[in-house]
A and B are shown apart, each in its own frame.
Chain A
Amino acid sequence: MQLWYALWDLLPIEMLHWDFMRNALLAVLLIGPLFGLCSTMVVTGRMSFFSDALGHSAFTGIAIGCICGMTSPTWAAILFALGFALLFSFVRSRSNQAADTIIGVFSSTAVALGIFIATLGGGSFAKYNRYLIGDILSITPTQICLLALVLAGVFALWWSISNRLTLAAIHPQLASSRGVPVHLTQTLFTAAIAIVVTLAISWVGLLILNSLLVLPGAASRNISRNLKQYHCFSVLFALTAGIAGLTISYYLGASAGAAICLVLALIFAICFCLRKVVR
């Protein structure tokens, strides 16, 4: 970290004279590849709604952690989100109802439970606002290290299961006939998304988090011809939006998470207009 701070001392960039901005920049450089990678599979697997539901479950976990007296309820949130993801996978595999119906059931239940617990006994909801909006400027060096570990873990997981996961997402029956353990592969993926979503919720915010999981991949699909381009553009867009959004938020004094998502939305619009020209 000292080296990172020293690097910016040498450069005449005003916004990076502040340690919290240097931390935030390092965080978006890690969040970019993390969400860029996850986004491709979330979009290909048609799990946009599911990742939104996971965010809600993470919020419920945070509320449970707070009411249990934890100063840092992140671990309670991770456990709850993992339980939520595994229970969802189990019910989905046993039910013949459409996936979005089951996601709706889980999502609404998680939100209701979270608000119920947060307001139990007349408690104020205000202390949970930071989880709704998020604040990447508050990220600490320890949390950045944790983020780097998660990125390394997700990359290792992608390295080992991304081919099988892609096949399972586009045609589960074909995947199964080729020896892919479809249910196990999808469960591993949902568990990874649960961890990423839960860790990111306090920095990005529940309301914006899902757009970070959807927009990079959605924008990239418009102009990609193959899987390599799809992943490369997705990561590139997430990185670009992260740096641009952080800069905009610094100079205009708005939420960094919201600015990042707006830049991503702009990138999506540009890619959408270019889709017929490029592909």
Chain B
Amino acid sequence: MSTNLHSKGCSDSCCLRVQNVSVSIGSEHILKDVSLHVHCGELVALIGPNGAGKSTILKAILGQQEYEGVISFSSPGLRHRKPPRIGYVPQSPAFDPSDPITVADLFACCMSKRPVFLGLGKKMRETVLTCLDRVHGRELIDKRVGTLSGGELQRVLLALALEPLPNILILDEPLSGVDVEGMVTLMDMLDEIRKTYDLSILMTTHNFDLLPRYADQLILIDRTILNQGDPKTVLASDAFCRVFHSKGGHA
């Protein structure tokens, strides 16, 4: 499925460098000496078993987790604007179906200074529709966020993460809870977004089937980096077989 993105040029994409990052909670090492590099305009997928520290890396990059080591961003456009804008799509957010909060309300809470309880102005509604058009989600504007399907919710959160246009896009398990058709749609959109905006994308996932088609780089992690490189090479590596065959993951 092709996407109909409104091209606004380059996002001023930046590359991300994680150098020797370690995270410990008490005496437990969650991450140990992790180094990775997301090049400008690349789609990089972090894979690993549950508890491997994938979400912890993302939290460290987002500044929500204390760590040792260095996380840096570089781009010509970032010299005078630090830190970079990070678009973030959280992992399977469980919105309460009884919450009377529509997709439009969610966008307005993030984007508007005017209190949403006073209602949405016409201009804000048009802005939300423009954002939703990026993910073919115009019809979702008045749906309550708690009633969206997995695929619809991921599209809405993706549209939200793209406004304002970030320098780097981070997605935590965007394919979980999404059916097979929805996964292809979502990956097509990410691919189109990356190409249209020249955006660097880092995502975690447990679904490997689609990765050789879309990802530029795969990073296999289990508290430390086990392998990284071309998706086909990583998926065929001994480290991948060892981690997922012995631990019962999806191979």
Which of chain A's residues has its CB closest to B86's CB? Answer: A177
Contact in complex: B93, A174 (CB < 8 Å): yes
Which of A199-207, A223-231, A261-269 makes up part of the contact surface? A223-231
Contact in complex: B119, A171 (CB < 8 Å): no
Helix, strand, loop or mixed for chain A's interface? helix
Residues of A within 8 A of B109 (CB): 163-164, 166-167
Contact with A along B136-152 (1 / 0, CB 8 A): 00000010110000000
* A178 to B110 CA separation, bound complex (whole angstroms): 7
* A265 to B204 CA separation, bound complex (whole angstroms): 46
With beta carbons under 8 angstroms apart, the residue of A178, A225, A228 that contacts B116 is A228
Contact in complex: B95, A170 (CB < 8 Å): yes
* A162 to B115 CA separation, bound complex (whole angstroms): 6
Residues of A within 8 A of B144 (CB): 225-226
Residues of A within 8 A of B95 (CB): 170-171
Contact in complex: B117, A44 (CB < 8 Å): no
* A158 to B114 CA separation, bound complex (whole angstroms): 11
Residues of A within 8 A of B142 (CB): 225-226
With beta carbons under 8 angstroms apart, the residue of A158, A173, A176, A227 that contacts B105 is A227
- Interface presence of B102 (CB below 8 A): yes
- Interface presence of B236 (CB below 8 A): no
A174 with B90: in contact, given A44-B99, A163-B108, A224-B100 (CB under 8 Å)? yes
* A220 to B99 CA separation, bound complex (whole angstroms): 10
- Interface presence of B118 (CB below 8 A): yes
A177 with B88: in contact, given A158-B115, A227-B105 (CB under 8 Å)? yes
A221 with B98: in contact, given A158-B115, A166-B116 (CB under 8 Å)? yes
Interface residues on B, range: 20 to 34
* A178 to B62 CA separation, bound complex (whole angstroms): 10
- Interface presence of B7 (CB below 8 A): no
Which residues from 116 to 144 on chain B have a C-beta closer than 8 Å to any C-beta of chain A?
116-120, 142, 144
* A227 to B116 CA separation, bound complex (whole angstroms): 7
Residues of A within 8 A of B98 (CB): 221
- Interface presence of B64 (CB below 8 A): yes
B141 CB to closest chain A CB, in angstroms? 11
Contact with B along A72-109 (1 / 0, CB 8 A): 00000000000000000000000000000000000000
List residues of chain A with CB under 8 Å of any chain B CB.
40, 44, 158-159, 162-164, 166-167, 170-171, 173-174, 176-178, 220-221, 224-231
Assuming A158-B117, A167-B109, what are 4 further A-B pairs, CB within 8 angstroms?
A: A158-B115, A173-B64, A177-B90, A226-B101
Question: Ordered nearest first, which 9 A-B pairs have the shortest CB separation?
Answer: A224-B100, A177-B88, A231-B117, A228-B119, A230-B100, A163-B109, A227-B105, A226-B102, A167-B109
What are 7 A-B pairs at a CB distance below 8 A?
A162-B116, A170-B99, A170-B106, A177-B88, A178-B88, A220-B100, A228-B118
